[in-house]
Homo-oligomer: A and B are copies of this chain.
Amino acid sequence: MRIAKTRAIFNAAVDVFSVRGFEKATMDEIAAKAKVAKGTIYYHFKSKEDLFVFLVDEGTKLLGESVLSKLPDQASATEQLRVIIREQLAFFQEYRDFCIIILREAWGEDTRQREFRRMLVHYVRSIQTIVENGIANGEFVTSDPETSAWSIFGGISIRAIHHIFTGSGENLTSFSPAMEQLIISGLSRSG
């Protein structure tokens, strides 16, 4: 029972936070959506902030696991990067709420925002590592792997969120080929 309620609150919170944003989200709405009394949320989480941080931790961990578990061990850096692009888009397709929450709530000096960025940095470092491996084995060329990694992460994320708010029902993964090409080969015809 305990886990069931915690789960219900978690799901409701993801929903409400993504629609309203952290500040405008109310515990009342989360409680209603989770079909528990407001006090029940406070029995399981010590505050709104605590609930949010829990959700962000889980969500970012899930992003990491979802994407990184798909990486083929023996493949080239190029292939690995393609997988990253494809799987991050797939993750945002399945968890649109997290895509919104990430872009909206990570930037600021509040505790929850710092914690959020700490998780994000961890994820982006995985991309950076792949880029660095690619450089090491001669596949890639770049003067600044950190900039590359954040640009790749940001490109995918902003492309996704723009689609979420503006696009048709099209699946996010349909952008994968164009993005892979852009990131691997660049725009230039000669490459």
Contact = CB atoms under 8 A, between A and B. Distances in A.
B184 A147 contact: no
A186 B177 contact: no
Interface residues of A, number: 56
Copy tally for this chain in the complex stands at 4
**Which of A104, A157, A188 has most chain B Cβ within 10 Å?**
A188
Nearest to A190: B191
Interface in A115-165: 117, 121, 124, 131, 134, 138-144, 147-148, 150-159, 161-162, 165
Contact of A161 (B23, B107, B183): B107
B189 A188 contact: no
A178 interface: yes
A109 B166 CA distance: 11
Interface string A5-25: 000000000000001110110
Interface of A: 19-21, 23-24, 78, 81, 100, 103-104, 107-109, 117, 121, 124, 131, 134, 138-144, 147-148, 150-159, 161-162, 165-166, 175, 177-179, 181-191
7 contacts: A131-B187, A141-B188, A147-B182, A150-B155, A182-B183, A186-B187, A188-B191
